Amino acid sequence: MTDTPWGLLPVADAHVHFFSRAFFLSLAAQKGVPLDELSSLLGWQIPAVDPAALAEHWIKEFDRYGVQRAAIIASVPGDEDSVMAAAQRHPDRFLAYAMVNPCASGAHEKIAQALDSGHLKGLCFFPAMHRYSIQDDRAAALMELLAERNGVAFVHCGVLTVGVRRKLDLPSEFDLRFSNPVDLHAVALRYPNVRFVIPHFGAGYFREALMVADLCPNVYMDTSSSNMWMRYEQDPADLRAVFRRALAVVGPSRLLFGTDSSFFPRGWHRQIFETQARVLYELGVSADDARMVLHDNLAGLFS
C-alpha cells in the first residue's frame, strides 16, 4: 500500500521499462563502445547478465514505495526472454510486455511461442519507430495472436523521443506519419476482445486518442511520463486539464496510471506518481475511482 491524498491505497504501474543487459548491449553496439564505457557515458547502472538480478532490483524498489504490481516492457525487439524471466520469478508482481517489430523476419513465430508460455501478457507496437502502419497485415498477424490468447496491445502514438538515444547522440529515424491514434480505430474495432493501451494520453494526439477511446470500449489510455507533449497544444494545457477531459470522455475505468520509469539509480519515478495523485485529488476524484486508476484497472485488463 502507498500513502496517497485519500489515505493508503494499492498502486500498480502500467508503464515501466525493463532495461536489461541485452538492451544496453544493443545501445553499446550502435554507439560503437564497450559496455563499461557506455555506463560511464550514461551514468546509469548496467544490470547483470541474468535478468533475475534486475527483477530483484525492481522488487526491492517497488517494496520501498509500496508498488504492488507493474507492467514491465522489454525495450528492444527480441528481448522478451528478459521480461518473461522476471514474470516467471514473480508472477504476482510483474506483467511482461515485449516490444515487437512486425516487419522483422521471424517475429510472428517467436512471439507466438512466447505468448504460449503464459509468461508474456502483452505486445508493444511502436509504428513510428519501426516505420509501419498499425493497419499493416504484419501487425494484424500479431493482433490475431493476442486475440487468441487474451493479450494486450500497447500502441505508442504521437511524439516519440527516446531519452537514452538523445543522451548518447544516437540518431532516431522515426516517422511520425505512422503515429496518429486514428489509425488504431479500425484495428480496435476489428479485434473487440483485445485491450488496446495508448500511452502518454496519445503524446500530442490527445484529441484523437480521446476520439478513438470514446468510440472503442476496448481502448485504454495510460497516464505515464512527464507528458511534455502538452506544450504542443494550441493553448498549452496543464495536467489538471488533461485529466479532467480524460475522465469526462473515457472515465476512471479506462485510465491506467503509469510512470515510464526505466533506469537505475533513479529507479521508480515517485515524483510522477505524487504529481498525478495530487491532480486527481484536487479534481475531486473519489477514493474508489482513484483506486481504479492507480491500481485496479491494470489487473482488469486480463480479467
Contacts of 184-190 with C-beta under 8 Å, sequence gap 24+, read: 184/134, 184/155, 184/157, 184/212, 184/219, 185/211, 185/212, 185/215, 185/216, 186/135, 187/134, 187/135, 187/139, 187/140, 187/143, 188/212, 188/216, 188/218, 188/219, 189/215, 189/216, 190/140, 190/143
11-300 belongs to which homologous superfamily?
Metal-dependent hydrolases (3.20.20.140)
Q: Could you list the pLDDT tens digit for every one of the 303 residues in the chain?
A: 999 999 999 999 999 999 999 999 999 999 999 999 999 999 999 999 999 999 999 999 999 999 999 999 999 999 999 999 999 999 999 999 999 999 998 888 899 999 999 999 999 999 999 999 999 999 999 999 999 999 999 999 999 989 999 999 999 899 999 999 999 999 999 999 999 999 999 999 999 999 999 999 999 999 998 888 998 887 767 999 999 999 999 999 999 999 999 999 999 999 999 999 999 999 999 999 999 999 999 999 987
Any bridge partners for residue 220, and if so which?
Answer: 197
- The counts of H helices and E strands in the chain are 14, 10
Cβ atoms 61, 86 nearer than 8 A: no
Any bridge partners for residue 99, and if so which?
Answer: 124
> What are the φ/ψ torsions at residue 29 (nearest 5 degrees)?
-65, -40
How high is the pLDDT of residue 236? 62
Grid coordinates given for 209: 486518442
How high is the pLDDT of residue 40? 96
Determine the distance from the C-alpha atom of residue 186 to the mean position of all C-alpha atoms in its chain, rounded to a whole number: 22
How far is the C-alpha of 13 from the C-alpha of 3, rounded, in Å?
15
Cβ atoms 11, 257 nearer than 8 A: yes
How far is the C-alpha of 66 from the C-alpha of 10, rounded, in Å?
7
How high is the pLDDT of residue 99? 97
How far is the C-alpha of 196 from the C-alpha of 189, rounded, in Å?
11
Determine the distance from the C-alpha atom of residue 40 to the mean position of all C-alpha atoms in its chain, rounded to a whole number: 27
DSSP code per residue over 68-106: EEEEEEE-STT-HHHHHHHHHH-TTTEEEEEEE-TTSTT
Instruction: For helices 21-31 and 80-89, give the axis angle rounded to 10 degrees.
Output: 160
